[in-house]
C-alpha cells in the first residue's frame, strides 16, 4: 500500500504527489519499505500520469528504469527487511507485555460513575450544566462548534470552534520534507467514528449520533460520534485548612473538582485527534486536544537522524509540530471592546520605609506579551481604551524562501480582529491543495479590518 503526501507540489497549479510505499500489514504507517515515488497527475486523463522521480534508501533516481538498471548491475544499496511476524507485530494494537512493578493488567482500573444520576441537562444539541448553557454541532470540515455560550445567563461567547489542525514535518526523504498536512482539507470533522464505551468515554456518558453529507451521495449516520459526561478532576476546585498554629485547626473547607466534558474524535488517516471542551462550575471553559493513533514516519537512513529519532530498525520518527486553530467570537461586557498586549518588568525604586534599600518590584504594564481585553461600559473601571484591533501577538517567523505553503493562522499564537459576517472560518477544505493562493485568506482578515 502507500501513503500520499500533501501539498501536491511546490507552486500553484501543480499536481505532483510523493507516494510512500509501505507493507500492507496492521499499522502499515510504520512499515515503509524505503521507496518513495513522485507522480505527476496534473492531466485529467490518468493514462497521461507519469513518474517523475524516485527515492530509494537515501538516493534519488530519475526513472524506474534507472533504479532497475542499478539493481541489475549490483550497484544499488538494497535495504533488506525482515519478514514481519504473523503475531505480536510491533505496530499492532495487540496487548502484550507486563509492567515491571507487577501492576495487574487483567483487571479494570478506576472508573467514572454517577452515584446519584446525571447533573447535566441535554436536549438535542442544547446543553446545560453548572451555570453553563450552550448549543453545539459537529461541522463536517473541521469539527466541534459551540454557540451562544452563557454562564448564569450572561453571554460569554457567540461561538467557540475548531477551525484547522496543521502538522509540519521535517526529514531527509522527499516525502518527509514535503509533508505539511492541513486537516480541514481531509474532512477532519467528518471522520468522527463510533466512540468505544469505557475507553473513549466512560460507560456512564451520554452518546450522540452525528450525520455528515461529505463525499457521499446522501447523509451518512455515524453512531455514538459525540459523548457528554461529568468528570472528577482529581483536585479540589478550592480548599483551605485554617490552622490554629497550635496543632489544631479552626476549620477546613473544600469543594469537589468536577467538569463537564463534550468530546468527539477525528481519525485523519494515521492520526486520531480527541477533541474536548470542558465546562467548570467556576465559569472557566477549557478547550483541549489529544493527539494519538500512529505517527507519520519515514524510512530510516543515517542522514535522517538529523531530522528525527530512530524508533525501529528501519523506521524514523520525524520531527514535526502540531498547530490547532480555534475561533473565539466574543464581546466582553458589551460591544464597545478594545484590546492591547502588555508585559511586566522589574522596576528599581527607592524603598519608602527603609532609606538606602532599592527593592525590585513588578510595576504597571509595559511592552507587549500579556493580553488584556477591556470594555469601558461598566462604570469605567477598565480605564481608557487601549489601541484598537486588529492586534496580533506572538508572531512566528515565516519561511524566507519562496511562498509560505501554509495558512496564516500558523504564524500567530493569537490574532485579534473585528467580526465580519463574511469571515466565518479561518481556513477551508481547499487550502490543503493550494496553500499558496488560499480561497480563504486569514491574513486578509487581519489587514482588511
- Cite the active site residues: 183, 271
DSSP state of 177: H
Exposed, middle or buried, 218 (CB in 10 Å: 0-12/13-18/19+)? exposed
Q: Where are the beta strands (DSSP E) in 200-293?
A: 206-212, 220-232, 238-243, 249-255, 258-268, 271-279, 285-293
Q: What 3-state DSSP class applies to 175? A: helix
Integer-rounded Cα radius of gyration of the chain: 27
Element (H, E) at 380: none
Runs of H (alpha helix) within 287-356: none
Cα(321)–Cα(344) distance, rounded to whole angstroms?
A: 29
Q: Which three cell numbers stand for residue 324?
A: 490547532
Looking at the DSSP bridge assignments, the partners of residue 39 are: 17, 51
- Looking from the CA of 295 toward its CB, the CA atoms found within 13 Å total 21
Cα(59)–Cα(57) distance, rounded to whole angstroms?
A: 6
Which residue's entry shows cell 549490483?
Answer: 74
Chain length of the chain? 449
Nearest to 265 by CA among 190, 336, 325: 190
DSSP state of 386: -
Give the list of residues 6+ apart from residue 133 with CB closer than 8 angstroms, or none. Answer: 126, 127, 148, 149, 150, 153
Contact indicator for 34, 25 with CB cutoff of 8 Å:
no
Contact indicator for 1, 28 with CB cutoff of 8 Å:
yes
DSSP state of 28: G
Contact indicator for 175, 33 with CB cutoff of 8 Å:
no
Give the list of residues 6+ apart from residue 296 with CB closer than 8 angstroms, or none. Answer: 3, 29, 167, 169, 179, 181, 270, 271, 318, 320
Amino acid at each position: 500500500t502507500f501513503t500520499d503526501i500533501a501539498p501536491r507540489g511546490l507552486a500553484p497549479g501543480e499536481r505532483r504527489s510523493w507516494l510512500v510505499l509501505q507493507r500492507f500489514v496492521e499499522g502499515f504507517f510504520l512499515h515503509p519499505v524505503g521507496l518513495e515515488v513522485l507522480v505527476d497527475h496534473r492531466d485529467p486523463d490518468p493514462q497521461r500520469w507519469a513518474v517523475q522521480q524516485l527515492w530509494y534508501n537515501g538516493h534519488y533516481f530519475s526513472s524506474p528504469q534507472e533504479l532497475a538498471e542499478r539493481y541489475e548491475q549490483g550497484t544499488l544499496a538494497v535495504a533488506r527487511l525482515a519478514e514481519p511476524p504473523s503475531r505480536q507485530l510491533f505496530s499492532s494494537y495487540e496487548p502484550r507485555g507486563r509492567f515491571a512493578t507487577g501492576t495487574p493488567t487483567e483487571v479494570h482500573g478506576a472508573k467514572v460513575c454517577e452515584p446519584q444520576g446525571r447533573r447535566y441537562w441535554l436536549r438535542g444539541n442544547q446543553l446545560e450544566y453548572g451555570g453553563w448553557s450552550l448549543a453545539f454541532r459537529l461541522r463536517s470540515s473541521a469539527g466541534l462548534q459551540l454557540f451562544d455560550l452563557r454562564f448564569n445567563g450572561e453571554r460569554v461567547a457567540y461561538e467557540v470552534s475548531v477551525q484547522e489542525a496543521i502538522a509540519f514535518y521535517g526529514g531527509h526523504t522527499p516525502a518527509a520534507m514535503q509533508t505539511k498536512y492541513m486537516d480541514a482539507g481531509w474532512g477532519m470533522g467528518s471522520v468522527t467514528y463510533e466512540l468505544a464505551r469505557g475507553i473513549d468515554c466512560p460507560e456512564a456518558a451520554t452518546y450522540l449520533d452525528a450525520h455528515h453529507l461529505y463525499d457521499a451521495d446522501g447523509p451518512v449516520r455515524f453512531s455514538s460520534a459525540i459523548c457528554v459526561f461529568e468528570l472528577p478532576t482529581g483536585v479540589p476546585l478550592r480548599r483551605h485548612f485554617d490552622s490554629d498554629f497550635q496543632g489544631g485547626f479552626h476549620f477546613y473547607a473544600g469543594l469537589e473538582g468536577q467538569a463537564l466534558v463534550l468530546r468527539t474524535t477525528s481519525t485523519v488517516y494515521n492520526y486520531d485527534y480527541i477533541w474536548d471542551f470542558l465546562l467548570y462550575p467556576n465559569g472557566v471553559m477549557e478547550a483541549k486536544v489529544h493527539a494519538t493513533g500512529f505517527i507519520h514516519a519515514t524510512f530510516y537512513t543515517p542522514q535522517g537522524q538529523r531530522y528525527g529519532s530512530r524508533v525501529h530498525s528501519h523506521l524514523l520518527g520525524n520531527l514535526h509540530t502540531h498547530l490547532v486553530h480555534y475561533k473565539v467570537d466574543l464581546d466582553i461586557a458589551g460591544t464597545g471592546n478594545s484590546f492591547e498586549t502588555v508585559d511586566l518588568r522589574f522596576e528599581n525604586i527607592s524603598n519608602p520605609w527603609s532609606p538606602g534599600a532599592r527593592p525590585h518590584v513588578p510595576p504597571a504594564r509595559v511592552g507587549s506579551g500579556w493580553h488584556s481585553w477591556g470594555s469601558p461600559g461598566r462604570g469605567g473601571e477598565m480605564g481608557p481604551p487601549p489601541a484598537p484591533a486588529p492586534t496580533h501577538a506572538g508572531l512566528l517567523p515565516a519561511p524566507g524562501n519562496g511562498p509560505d505553503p501554509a495558512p496564516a493562522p500558523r504564524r500567530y499564537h493569537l490574532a485579534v480582529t473585528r467580526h465580519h459576517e463574511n469571515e466565518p472560518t479561518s481556513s477551508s477544505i481547499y487550502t490543503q491543495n493550494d496553500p499558496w493562493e488560499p480561497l480563504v485568506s486569514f491574513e486578509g482578515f487581519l489587514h482588511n479590518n
